[in-house]
Amino acid sequence: MSNPTDPQGRRLQIIRWALVAALPCLLIGFTLMGDRNYGFLSILLILLMMIPFFLSFEKRRPEARELVVIAVMAGIGALGRVAFAALPQVKPTSAVVIITALAFGPEAGFLTGAVAALTSNLFFGQGPWTPWQMFSWGLIGFAAGMFGKAGWLRSRLSLAVFGFLSGFGFGWVMNIWYVIGFIQPITYQAVIGAYVSSFWFDFTHALTTLIFLAVLAKPWLRRLERIKTKFGLLENS
């Protein structure tokens, strides 16, 4: 737990509230404006996303190399998703986002996830699903960073469990968009049916995230830590 009287504790509290506010904004915006305004919703989410990022650099001037490393990791996450386009639920993106968050902190993890979703949809196509994917992957990155800072993801087992659950978490948030956008009227039976029907898709995403983490996490984290130490990247993250 962060100390609310500490500057870093206050910053983390603001970040949490910004993330909590993002999903209701998406729900309200989607309901009131419909599919045609997904561009506006994406911009809204980007603004909410950028607030904690800038707060993380409030006491020092960020260097270009610190921004570049986040852009590179987001690019890798996006390209990984495109590379497995023939297998829609096989998404190395989640593993890349989690690894980035463990190496550079929760704010970097959130940015990496959100930017990876936005840029990969330049290939898959932008739509009303884009801000939801940005939020889902961003939240996975933020959660991984917070759990990593707390020391809860140090073992292979705990990291594997988190990666597996994150695959389901991504699908469950996306199911909210599906229910709001395509189910009328919304009933308990319809909601349960939507989540049951997505189980195997979510399971595939969860399992592949676990596998990618098992293969990539240790060597990538070792290299990222060396880069972080050598160039002094995100030292206060």
**Which sequence spans correspond to the domains of the chain?**
63-231
User: Could you give the 3-state DSSP secondary structure of residue 233?
Assistant: coil
Quick one: 49 exposed, middle or buried, by C-beta within 10 A (0-12, 13-18, 19+)? buried
Q: In which region does residue 184 sit, left (phi positive, over 0), alpha (psi from -120 to 50) or beta (all else)?
A: beta
CATH of domain 63-231: 1.10.1760.20
Q: Give the pLDDT confidence score for residue 39 in this predicted structure.
A: 59
Q: Give the pLDDT confidence score for residue 184 in this predicted structure.
A: 78
Distance CA 199, CA 223 (A): 35
Distance CA 170, CA 216 (A): 20
Helix axes 93-104, 64-83, angle to 10 degrees: 160
Q: Give the pLDDT confidence score for residue 1 in this predicted structure.
A: 45
CA-to-CA separations, 222 to 45, 91, 201, 226, 227, in angstroms, rounded: 32, 22, 31, 6, 9
| Contact (CB, 8 A) for 131 and 26 | yes
Which of 177, 107, 114 has the alpha carbon at shortest distance from 149? 107
Q: What is the pLDDT along the chain (237 residues), one digit of tens a residue?
A: 445 455 556 666 666 666 666 666 666 666 666 555 555 666 666 666 666 665 655 555 556 777 788 899 999 999 999 999 888 788 899 999 999 999 988 888 988 998 999 999 999 998 878 888 888 898 899 899 999 999 999 999 999 999 999 999 999 989 988 887 777 787 889 889 999 999 999 999 999 999 999 999 999 999 998 888 877 766 545
